[in-house]
Chains A and B, each alone.
Chain A
Amino acid sequence: MRPDNGWFSRVLAAGPAEGRLLDVFIAGDDAQAKARVSAFIESLGLRPMDTGQLPMARALENVALLQLGLVAHSVKHTNFFLGVSILS
Chain B
Amino acid sequence: MSSITLIGTGNMARTIGTLAVAGGNTVEVMGRDQSKADDLAKALGGGGATTGKWGAVPAGDIVITALLYDGVVPVVAEYGDALEGKVIVDISNPFNATFDGLAHSEETSIAQEVAKVAPASASVVKAFNTIFRNVLEKGRPNVFIAGDNAQAKAGVAAFIESLGLRPLDVGGLKMAHWLEGVGVVTMGLAGNGVGHWDFALGVNEFTG
Describe B's contact surface by its main secondary structure. Answer: mixed
**Residue of A75, A79, A82, A86 touching B207 (CB-CB under 8 A):** A79
| Residue from the list B182, B199, B208 in contact with A10, Cβ < 8 A | B208
**Which residues on A sit within 8 Å (CB–CB) of B181?**
58-59, 61-63
A82–B204 contact, CB under 8 A?
yes
Residue contact A84 to B194, C-beta cutoff 8 Å: yes
For residues 146 through 186 of chain B, which have their beta carbon under 8 Å from a beta carbon of chain A? 146, 167-171, 175, 177-182, 184-185
Closest CB in chain B relative to A10 CB, distance in Å: 7
Residues of A within 8 A of B199 (CB): 84-87
- A50: chain B residues at CB < 8 Å are 188-189, 192-193
Chain B residues near A69: list those with CB within 8 A.
Answer: 146, 169-171, 175, 178
User: Given A26-B193, A70-B169, 19 more contacts at CB 8 Å?
Assistant: A25-B185, A50-B192, A51-B189, A55-B101, A56-B185, A62-B182, A62-B184, A63-B182, A65-B178, A69-B169, A74-B169, A75-B168, A79-B205, A80-B206, A83-B201, A85-B199, A85-B200, A87-B134, A87-B138
Write the residues of chain A forming the contact surface with B, with a CB cutoff of 8 angstroms: 10, 14, 17-18, 20, 25-27, 48-53, 55-56, 58-63, 65-66, 69-70, 72-75, 77-87
